Structure 1
């Protein structure tokens, strides 16, 4: 009998930049309703992997299959300094082809930066910019979420709120991949992988701590 459906299935993905082999046979299969973590040292290829998974870059070989829409929150914010929070929301609403921006409104309230709705991005703190970055990645309610250091710049309260949002999304059947160079709060994850020498290996929080990744 066939196994459970996968929200994300990756098989033997390779990616090189000239003579530098970044991904060397990455494979991964995640079911809907999974909160997964990927850790690795700086330069291990985590951002390359995410960009490949969401289709921003082409792979040299291998297969990537995902169910439904993808949301991608890059580590570097994709924001225009001269637009306000509300203007970004309206712009991305049009780009996603959404009839309304209700999900964005919910996230702005959940992440508690509604007071900055009419503030230009160049006047926002780094943490608030990252809240907006995350909101724009999630506002179309994608089935698979790719989050690259999504809580960078958050204060402790917002950091905890991020995990609350992630848990709710998982309970709604969304598949979430959180990438970081450290295995923070790994007990919140359903599974943890380490990107090492261009391949993913299943990892445990205890082992991550011993190896200095936590």
Structure 2
């Protein structure tokens, strides 16, 4: 059984369709990245899938007991709030010390355990958020533009970490990203959205699709990738003339 299967998902903002007719099936172990221009419904879709935004139509089915880890796009922290990394991992409920340290070590920030959250750099904070997301060994890891504000080397390192965690945990990864030059080398399947799914498939298929080129031009097809990802999964590929179709949902265990 698929981890998540969503059919004809609609999300409206007032009278405006933010997401329309989206279908997708997420399988264990695959990395799926949603790309699209600003206002294309990428983040709205993710928020809908974790229950933060209600859907106005369609159905979402998740595997029974599905564990989901979520890394938000941003976390606003009051700089006067005395909150260490370790205490942050205890929210909303206390986590055993060994478990917390293991998660921090997996994301390369175990040395930050006693640091104040408000004093972390952008890259450090994202790795702490990722550590929190993997505390319960999620079957699906959801990330909303996790490298926004990071430079290219830091972004590439973060995506390599995501790939390593996928391999270690055996989880599926669903993420939104705007960094096409990195994403095209760090994902198994790409979903190109503009309110609906314009095209879908491997990075090679999507970057050659007319709908993708119309949205992004021809200069972002992976030539600037900072490292090469080997595509180990044989996923079904779609052209750009199919009906709108895309993505997921399940409970958010860290909300």
TM-score by length of 2: 0.71
| Structure 1 unaligned blocks of 5 or more | none
Are 2:73 and 1:72 aligned? no
Are 2:110 and 1:84 aligned? no
| Structure 2 unaligned blocks of 5 or more | 221-255
What is the aligned partner in structure 1 of residue 171 from structure 2? 174
CA deviation profile, 1:16-41 (whole Å, cap 9, x unmatched): 01111101111001211111111011
Q: Secondary structure of the equivalent of 1:132? A: helix
Matches within 5 A, 1:40-55: 40-55=36-51
CA deviation profile, 1:112-131 (whole Å, cap 9, x unmatched): 33333222222222222222
Give the deviation of 1:103 after TM superposition: 4.8
Are 2:3 and 1:7 aligned? yes
Q: Secondary structure of the equivalent of 2:90? A: helix
Q: 1:152 aligns with which of 142, 148, 154?
A: 148
Are 2:109 and 1:108 aligned? no
Closer/same/farther in 2, CA of residues 124 and 115 from structure 1, 3 Å limit: same
Indicate if the aligned counterparts of 2:31 and 2:173 stay in contact, CA closer than 8 A. yes
CA deviation profile, 1:141-169 (whole Å, cap 9, x unmatched): 11111101112344555434433332233
Indicate if the aligned counterparts of 2:106 and 2:131 stay in contact, CA closer than 8 A. no
Distance in 2 (alpha carbons) for counterparts of 1:160 and 1:182 = 10
Q: 2:26 aligns with which of 26, 30, 42?
A: 30
Closer/same/farther in 2, CA of residues 103 and 49 from structure 1, 3 Å limit: farther
Distance in 2 (alpha carbons) for counterparts of 1:52 and 1:110 = 28
Indicate if the aligned counterparts of 1:33 and 1:170 stay in contact, CA closer than 8 A. yes
Distance in 1 (alpha carbons) for counterparts of 2:97 and 2:23 = 35
- Using the TM superposition, name which of 63-72 and 199-208 deviates more: 199-208
TM-score by length of 1: 0.83
Give RMSD over aligned pairs.
2.5
Distance in 1 (alpha carbons) for counterparts of 2:117 and 2:62 = 32
What is the aligned partner in structure 1 of residue 114 from structure 2? 118
Are 2:192 and 1:194 aligned? yes
Number of aligned residue pairs: 206
Distance in 1 (alpha carbons) for counterparts of 2:160 and 2:103 = 12
